[in-house]
Structure 1
């Protein structure tokens, strides 16, 4: 066990023992995806978080929503919905945007929440809209509770949409034209429960399915081709 953990995180055996159990279990079970596998046979976790703001240093996670795609199908029975107990002062804007009231924010503890998230994602490729921020917030919460960073491959639907439109230089396109709302409009996805973690995860899952269908037609058929930058 310890040799595998050392290989994954690049630390000594004594270092790994300082991690919380949830993270050690995640590392022990983690494996890299088969890059030769068809994207239609791959397993993905579509993830969204709602936070008290966009300041990575000061703000906290309010809720986490995730749903799994496997064998080219959104499996709504295999989903995760967590309200994170949060003591941070709740502003009127946060209430308006997220629809959460104080009673909602008495959910699971931060430790319980992050442990459940790591267990749910396992080794699957994680997908989200502007996923880097969500992952940074989750990694922060993990470290705060004795864990470490997620090792999973990541896919950003904003980047995939730009890649669909400009194969050779996706970053040359204006990111403001690739918001989740604009992608919903483009692909005729009804944005139900927008600005909730559960709702945005499901909406993003539908958008992601539309994107990989179009990318597949353009020759992006394997997992390795999909995750390349």
Structure 2
């Protein structure tokens, strides 16, 4: 292996404390048969420098816990990651993270370690979860050499699964907020969006229980069948 390739593959440079924290992160829990209201969930939202999952960066992370069937306001996480100056684009204009806020953020390795310590072994809820999952996964690998294994549940799929008559097959979070009658005071920063998503999740879990879906395993199975039907070609 030449020197150039060795430098490319050696991985991120972490200090002893960061390495110890990485080794102590809890492994992801397997899908559980616990009733939905007995499951600890982490609701996650990311603000990013753009929508390209191969190039753009995670700028801030917001998360909140649902436990014992309720949002636990005492378990919240918020972090802005320190990044090089980012070009102004539509995404930055929406979330409002200017150069000074990004420059004052924490080192990415420390912020991402704190995020995973907060998540613990819990499954993750997000709206348009595949995007958040890919962005967080790449950030963790690039900054920590850590491979994300946690289960992500996409509420953008759960909502139309449970409310097929709503006519919102590919709607955004705001569409479902309006449909469910939620009152939102703030949007478009990671913490506020995580809280709104958590409020929507509680409505969806109540609906799921009334439809006989009262565990993570049952919910994921139903989602898989629903996606397969949605992707099947029409005859």
Is the TM value for this pair above 0.5?
Answer: yes
Superposition TM-score, scaled by structure 2 size: 0.80
Relative to structure 2, which stretch is displaced further, 75-84 or 93-102?
Answer: 93-102
Provide the rounded CA distance (Å) in 1 between the counterparts of 2:88 and 2:28: 41
Find the counterpart in structure 2 of residue 47 from structure 1.
44
Q: TM-score with structure 1 length normalisation?
A: 0.82
- The equivalences for 1:108-127 within 5 A come to 108-127=106-125
Greater Cα shift, 32-41 or 86-95 = 86-95
Structure 2: how far apart are the matches of 1:49 and 1:31?
A: 20
1:100 partner SS: coil
Q: Does structure 2 conserve the Cα–Cα contact (< 8 Å) formed by 1:52 and 1:61?
A: yes
Matches within 5 A, 1:74-93: 74-91=71-88, 93=90
Q: CA deviation at 1:94?
A: 4.0
Q: CA RMSD in A?
A: 2.2
Structure 1 stretches of 4+ with a deviation exceeding 3 A read: 18-23, 92-95
Shift of 1:30: 2.1
CA apart distance, 1:175: 3.9
Aligned length: 204
Contact 1:43 1:68 in 2 (8 A): yes
Q: Which runs of 5+ in 2 are unaligned?
A: 1-13, 225-235
Shift of 1:31: 5.0
Q: Distance in 2 between matches of 1:132 and 1:191?
A: 24
Cα shift readout 1:138-172 (whole Å, capped 9, x = no counterpart): 111111123322222211111101211349xxxxx
Superposition pairs for residues 1-229 of structure 1, below 5 Å? Answer: 20-26=19-25, 29-30=26-27, 32-33=29-30, 35-91=32-88, 93-106=90-103, 107-166=105-164, 175-176=169-170, 178-228=171-221, 229=224
* CA offsets 1:189-226 (integer angstroms, 9 cap, x no match): 12332111011100000001000101110101122212
**8 A Cα contact 1:154 1:227, kept in partner:** no
Determine helix, strand or coil for the equivalent of 1:68.
strand
Q: 1:51, 1:62 within 8 Å by CA — same for their partners in 2?
A: yes
1-structure distance, mates of 2:136, 2:168: 27
